[in-house]
Structure 1
Amino acid sequence: MKRKNRSWLYTPAALLLASAVALSGCTGGSESAGGGSGETGTNTAAGDSASSAGGGIKGTIKVWDWDEAFLKRMVPEFNKKYPNVKVEYTVVNNTDYMQKLQSGIASGSDVPDVILGEMNYRGQLFDLDILDNLEGAPYNFKRTQLLDYLPSILSNSKGELVGVDQSITPAGLAYRRDLAKQYLGTDDPDALAAAIPDWHTFIEKGKKVQQDSGGKVTMFASFDDAYRVLREQNSKPYVNGTTINLTERLKLPLETVFSMRDAGVLGKYEAYTPGWNASFAKGDNIFYPMAPWSAKWNIAANDKDGIGRWGLIPAPGGSYTYGGTSIGVFKGSKNKEAAWAYINFAYMSDEGMAVSYKEFGNMAGTKEFFEKHKDWIEAGTDYDKYFAGQNLNKTFLEKIVPSVKADPQTKYNAMVQTAYSSLYPLWMKDTSIKVNAALEKLKSEVKNLAPEATIN
């Protein structure tokens, strides 16, 4: 999103706002934050009387989501306003979501009205062309209502807006205050950010950390942690029709990550493995990628005794997006108004966000949310205690959100991620593999997945 000095909202007062603390079910890796596959439930409000706002909308909608706790809490709230809409929900692990969805499309028998698009497969979902354009009837939503960086990652290849955001995901770096104090000389967020203004400095300090710790402490826990930060900082459109400009998009971030690997400042964990999860509490790495949802799903979940142990700073070189989930409506839905009522209520309305933000930490992707709820933002959340009282909301807004930008998503973006995920564990372990060879191998793997594409 960053264009120099560009505000994410249009009023100076917005710079007093901030971002989220936890994004339910929206990890940047492959593990679901909640729920197994195939659990179902329904909820309708008792009684025939309708509220003045929602009583005119009737029907039954199917919702597939991986956060059962959210569904159990939100659906009853929705039915207070929309008592004549029956919500049938199925809890589907996010790693199984696309396969189940494609099976339903193929059979023509089981497709939800409300469809979620986790970032790892969002482009693939959008290119299926099964989601309605939310700027058309009956939704009439306008992309100008969203934060500036969001339309590019919520639009399909035809330029249609096919989703709204479950919760914004601007990201910086979480850090262990104890390790930063011991090895980098300060645990103060502002002082630490000033001490590592760029990746060259980050690497040089990482070398000293290695030396001073006897090789026991690294800067990032994983090659993949560093890559996901650097890749998204370099965000730019790189898919043009069937042409994928991999060299232009990925060579610079890969060069920096390979430099980190060769300097010995990266840990040996693979992201989102049990070892990586345990490392948060173990204390052998200083920095981790952190979006608003990370405070709950990464920090609190993996470092239960970590109250006061953590801090948050912007990443050297600028902000990036980390994970995220779109929410859209199935084109073939017979109850589009009811599906949109659910989406609007759960993810954008004042009533829904009173639950979604205060209890689950989700932050609406609309400008209006931040303009109207300054008091919520100022109050912080319970996860601030893990960060020694640092107001995560203000830190995300003032230090991180203004420079966020994001890639448009197509099926090819998802293929590039799939190819990378199959290759990076070897790149991490085998230091004889250099960046040019790795990039050529990545191109080859993407070509195998997309033989019709031109790979540059």
Structure 2
Amino acid sequence: MIKEAISKEEGLKLKHTQKSWLYVPATLLLAGAVTLAGCTSESNNAAGGGEKGASTLNGDSAATAAGIKGTIKVWDWDEAFLKKMVPEFNKRFPNVKVEYTVVNNGDYMQKLQSGIASGSDVPDVVLGEMNYRGQLFDLDILDNLEKAPYNFKRTELLDYLPSILTNSKGELVGVDQSITPAGLAYRRDLAKQYLGTDDPDALAKAIPDWNAFIEKGKKVQQESGGKVTMFASFDDAYRVIREQNSKPYVTGTTINLTDRLQLPLTTVFSMRDAGILGKYEAYTPGWNASFAKGDNIFYPMAPWSAKWNIAANDKDGIGRWGLIPAPGGSYTYGGTSVGVYKDSKNKDAAWAYINFAYMSDEGMAINYKEFGNMAGTKQFFEKHKDWIDAGTEYDKYFAGQNLNKTFVEKIVPTVKADPQTKYNAMVQTAYGSLYPLWMKDTSINVKTALEKLKSEVKNLAPEATIK
């Protein structure tokens, strides 16, 4: 249950009966939301002792909010979010001008580095998508949010988050745009036909570990004549198994790939050799189309996946899907950090924006309802049990299964995540260039693949020691 992921000293008592927490009717949100000006001093003391953390900003008076002034630059790739959130922010902070630029997430780091080099164009609010987050953190351009003027406490975050929001110096340099705990989405029709059940609890019991998953996959492969596989892609399996085996593997300039990836690669190669993985490459048109095609049973799934993967790719799939925890434990799937540029001239204003949009009651009433983003703070779950009781508009794709209840009770408690450095990003880049061949050429074994990966990482990081 979610309470296992929240430290005991916070005294949170989220019960087993809590329900989902993504999308709720606007009327419920407006009724349940506590505005920034309306939070009590008791709430402030519980979360910050009067310092300007997430909870104390909720308690700032209108006069204090009006006193925060300045112009801030925000770079974000979600234009719909900006168009909705910035006007709402300005209702609360009328003297902060937000100049936002829509930047494709694939171009973000290059544009940011160019701005730093020229010294002319760097945003005050900086986003760090997971694929390049470690590279961003190692640029050392983000402020430590546990120091003034922010005084945010990492203990306010869900317990697994600090490891992926701190830089190599141990400084907390971001908060979470939206938590991304992940399990497995599955096609109910195919599970019923080939695995004997489409019930989430029964299916999870039928595949308690990856050995059982592989054996079931062999049965599916045989009975379908090779037309149906368990995962659509080698990469789908790898991203799940790699992240659920999360542990630090970068120390200074030493990268221990053998210790980190031997087990995940061994498991995925066993799946490949058993013939239970599809031939798609993740996030290609063919992979997208496979959701509706019905030639694969399982896909990685975070809370955002219901909208962007399932509904977007299987428009006629109402009632067709289910969600279970992954065998062997939960993992993170994607995610974005949000931090403050350390040379910003308007740090108070930048923090006010981040706090309002991603952590405050008033901002989350919009963020949660409109965009499905869930705050990474313990306070969010403590204060909004009524929100958690509501279902999501995407539950209909899952035959009425309460997605958020599943995430809260069965997936969040076992989430782990790797600390991020520039070397983590390099490892992922090297892997991305290699896995398509690993998927197709069965003569390549784990030992050969791992050695090739080490060689590619060494090319990207010649100064590093690769083990």
Cα RMSD (Å) of the superposition? 1.6
Structure 1 residue 54 and structure 2 residue 85: aligned? no
Matching residue's letter, 2:380: F
Match of 2:196 among 185, 200, 206: 185
Specify whether residues 453 and 51 from structure 1 end up closer, same or farther in structure 2 by C-alpha distance, changes over 3 A only.
same
After TM superposition, give the deviation of residue 305 of structure 1 in Å: 1.1
In the alignment, what sits opposite 1:112? Answer: 123
Structure with the higher helix share, 1 or 2: 2
Aligned equivalents of 2:376, 2:86: Cα separation in 1: 20
In the alignment, what sits opposite 1:394? Answer: 405
Aligned equivalents of 2:251, 2:17: Cα separation in 1: 38
In the alignment, what sits opposite 2:97? Answer: 86
Match of 2:248 among 217, 234, 237: 237
In the alignment, what sits opposite 2:110? Answer: 99
User: Could you tell me whether the CA contact under 8 Å between 1:221 and 1:276 is conserved in 2?
Assistant: yes
After TM superposition, give the deviation of residue 318 of structure 1 in Å: 0.4
Q: Deviations over 1:275-311 (max 9, x none)?
A: 1111111111000000111111111111111111110
Three-state SS of the structure 2 residue aligned to 1:60 is strand
Structure 1 residue 367 and structure 2 residue 378: aligned? yes
After TM superposition, give the deviation of residue 13 of structure 1 in Å: 2.0
In the alignment, what sits opposite 1:208? Answer: 219
Matching residue's letter, 1:173: L
In the alignment, what sits opposite 1:125? Answer: 136
User: Could you tell me whether the CA contact under 8 Å between 2:21 and 2:389 is conserved in 1?
Assistant: no
After TM superposition, give the deviation of residue 82 of structure 1 in Å: 0.3
Aligned equivalents of 1:7, 1:357: Cα separation in 2: 20
Specify whether residues 21 and 305 from structure 1 end up closer, same or farther in structure 2 by C-alpha distance, changes over 3 A only.
farther
Aligned equivalents of 1:408, 1:294: Cα separation in 2: 23
Three-state SS of the structure 1 residue aligned to 2:75 is strand
In the alignment, what sits opposite 2:30? Answer: none
Three-state SS of the structure 2 residue aligned to 1:382 is coil
Q: What is the TM-score normalised by the length of structure 2? A: 0.89
Q: Deviations over 1:229-252 (max 9, x none)?
A: 000011000000000010000000
After TM superposition, give the deviation of residue 339 of structure 1 in Å: 0.3
Q: What is the TM-score normalised by the length of structure 1? A: 0.92
Match of 2:289 among 278, 290, 294: 278
Matching residue's letter, 1:160: E
After TM superposition, give the deviation of residue 255 of structure 1 in Å: 0.3
After TM superposition, give the deviation of residue 434 of structure 1 in Å: 0.5
In the alignment, what sits opposite 2:45? Answer: none
In the alignment, what sits opposite 2:261? Answer: 250
After TM superposition, give the deviation of residue 380 of structure 1 in Å: 1.6
Match of 1:344 among 344, 347, 355: 355
Q: Which 5+ residue runs of structure 1 have no aligned equivalent? A: 23-49
Aligned equivalents of 1:233, 1:98: Cα separation in 2: 27
Three-state SS of the structure 2 residue aligned to 1:390 is coil
Matching residue's letter, 1:454: T
After TM superposition, give the deviation of residue 7 of structure 1 in Å: 3.4
Structure 1 residue 139 and structure 2 residue 150: aligned? yes
In the alignment, what sits opposite 2:5? Answer: 7
* 1:37-48 alignment, distance < 5 Å: none
Q: Deviations over 1:157-190 (max 9, x none)?
A: 0000000000001100000111111111100000
Matching residue's letter, 2:118: S
User: Could you tell me whether the CA contact under 8 Å between 1:20 and 1:292 is conserved in 2?
Assistant: no
User: Could you tell me whether the CA contact under 8 Å between 1:66 and 1:92 is conserved in 2?
Assistant: yes
User: Could you tell me whether the CA contact under 8 Å between 2:20 and 2:387 is conserved in 1?
Assistant: no
Q: Deviations over 1:316-361 (max 9, x none)?
A: 0000011000000001110000000000000000000000001111
Q: Which 5+ residue runs of structure 2 have no aligned equivalent? A: 24-60
Matching residue's letter, 2:316: D
Three-state SS of the structure 1 residue aligned to 2:147 is coil
* 1:396-435 alignment, distance < 5 Å: 396-435=407-446
Aligned equivalents of 1:413, 1:143: Cα separation in 2: 22
Aligned equivalents of 1:332, 1:382: Cα separation in 2: 41
After TM superposition, give the deviation of residue 135 of structure 1 in Å: 0.4
Identity of aligned residues (%): 86
In the alignment, what sits opposite 1:33? Answer: none
Aligned equivalents of 2:110, 2:203: Cα separation in 1: 44
Aligned equivalents of 1:236, 1:389: Cα separation in 2: 35
In the alignment, what sits opposite 1:454? Answer: 465
In the alignment, what sits opposite 2:395? Answer: 384
Aligned equivalents of 1:223, 1:324: Cα separation in 2: 21
Aligned equivalents of 1:272, 1:52: Cα separation in 2: 48
Pairs aligned (count): 427
Three-state SS of the structure 1 residue aligned to 2:5 is coil
Match of 2:77 among 61, 66, 73: 66
Aligned equivalents of 1:222, 1:93: Cα separation in 2: 25
Aligned equivalents of 2:19, 2:444: Cα separation in 1: 41
Aligned equivalents of 1:166, 1:140: Cα separation in 2: 19
Matching residue's letter, 2:456: E
After TM superposition, give the deviation of residue 385 of structure 1 in Å: 1.1
Match of 2:87 among 58, 69, 76: 76
Aligned equivalents of 1:149, 1:14: Cα separation in 2: 20
Three-state SS of the structure 2 residue aligned to 1:346 is helix
